[in-house]
A = this chain, B = another copy of it.
């Protein structure tokens, strides 16, 4: 295992310490228990949004805390759900009196622990709603999940719901728009290599030098099939078809295309994937009106990528374009 770390057990707290030191204008953190909030939290009268889950997917979620996106993020140990404790603490820290939305990727541990935290918060008088993201079309039921997994589409849910909360929408409305984005986004991923959890010290799975895993999960969970390495365009074809067929998207739709790097894939390759994905989408008569390319929902140093397509409308486009000021997404303002 070759990593830029100190003691494996210190990876998350040390990284969070560096994160808040680098971005003190945007965020602050608590360490016992560990969570990150907007520097100006709680924002009185605004619906607050909290997300979280195992670490190792950075910049998800802490990189999306700030104006116009998340109010709080709760990083668990690497690839391990945070307990209800820090989720509750973050929920209380961001509550501005207008209620709190939990955005939770569909993994059994995350769902259970956020649910427990929501119950505890409710018992303290905080109104909490939850939206479970499950955008991964690759498989139904998986190593850590009942139903579909929540993957890179979660970033789009967080950005758009965050913009709705920032403009002053109430808890019902913010919950509704988050639900809508999750309903309209589909994702599938591919792994070229495995990744190694620091405290495990060994790769999460074995994959041959000439093989790739189609439909990989963000923790290295099995996908649909293991095949020989192919040209980028063929790989894109294999994952974009199930995405476009699932929703279904149709000719004339405006869409957002997200090419998400898994952490170890160079940007020069992600844009090659973007090129062909865009061609396929345009051939189907859809229009890519918004794009995002980069590392947003990673799996440590895994080489690979995922492709997400979100069906847009005027409301979602306006919320996507709204100013955002976080460590990992920033525009306007």
List B contacts of A265 (CB < 8 A). 4, 301
| Chain B residues positioned under 8 Å from A278 (CB to CB) | 18, 21-22
Interface readout for A48-67 with B: 1 if CB under 8 Å, 0 if not? 00000001101100010000
B271→A19 contact, CB < 8 A: yes
Provided the pairs A18-B272, A272-B18, A275-B17 are in contact, do residues A4 and B300 lie with their beta carbons within 8 angstroms?
no
Do B332 and A18 touch (CB < 8 A)? no
A107 CB to nearest chain B CB (Å): 18
Main secondary structure of the interface of A (DSSP, over half): mixed
Q: Once the chains bind, are A268 and B6 in contact (CB under 8 Å)?
A: no
A330 at the B interface (CB under 8 A)? yes
Stretch at the interface among A123-131, A156-164, A229-237, A311-319: A229-237
Do B58 and A301 have beta carbons less than 8 Å apart?
A: no
Q: Which residues of B contact A15 (CB under 8 A)?
A: 268-269, 271-272, 275
* CB atoms of B55 and A4 under 8 A apart: no
- CB-CB < 8 A to A59: which residues of B? 267
- Assess whether A6 is in contact with B263, with CB atoms less than 8 Å apart: no
List of B residues within 8 angstroms of A55 by Cβ: 268
Q: Are B295 and A295 in contact (CB under 8 A)?
A: yes
- Measured between beta carbons, the chain B residues less than 8 angstroms from A23 are 291
Q: For A327, list chain B residues within 8 Å (CB).
A: 293
Interface size range on A against B: 35 or more
Number of copies: 2
**Given contacts A231-B5, A264-B264, A298-B266, are A275 and B209 in contact (CB under 8 A)?**
no
- Chain A residues 1 to 39 lying within 8 A of chain B, measured CB to CB, are 2-7, 11-12, 14-19, 21-23
Could you say which of B2, B22, B268 contacts A274, with CB atoms under 8 Å apart? B22
Give the distance in Å from the alpha carbon of A259 to the alpha carbon of B267 in the complex.
Answer: 17
Given contacts A264-B301, A291-B22, contact A269 B4 (CB under 8 A): yes
Expressed in whole angstroms, the Cα–Cα distance for A291 and B2 within the complex equals 26
B235, A272: Cβ atoms closer than 8 Å? no
A268 close to B300 (CB less than 8 A): yes
A4 CA to B275 CA, complexed, in Å: 12
Contacts of A5 in B (CB 8 A): 231-232, 269, 272
Complex: A269 Cα to B5 Cα, angstroms: 6
Which single member of B263, B275, B305, B333 contacts A266 (CB below 8 Å)?
B263
The answer to the question of A47 belonging to the interface, with a C-beta cut-off of 8 Å to chain B, is: no
Question: What are 7 inter-chain pairs, A to B, with CB distance below 8 A?
Answer: A4-B192, A7-B231, A18-B278, A18-B293, A22-B291, A23-B291, A263-B264
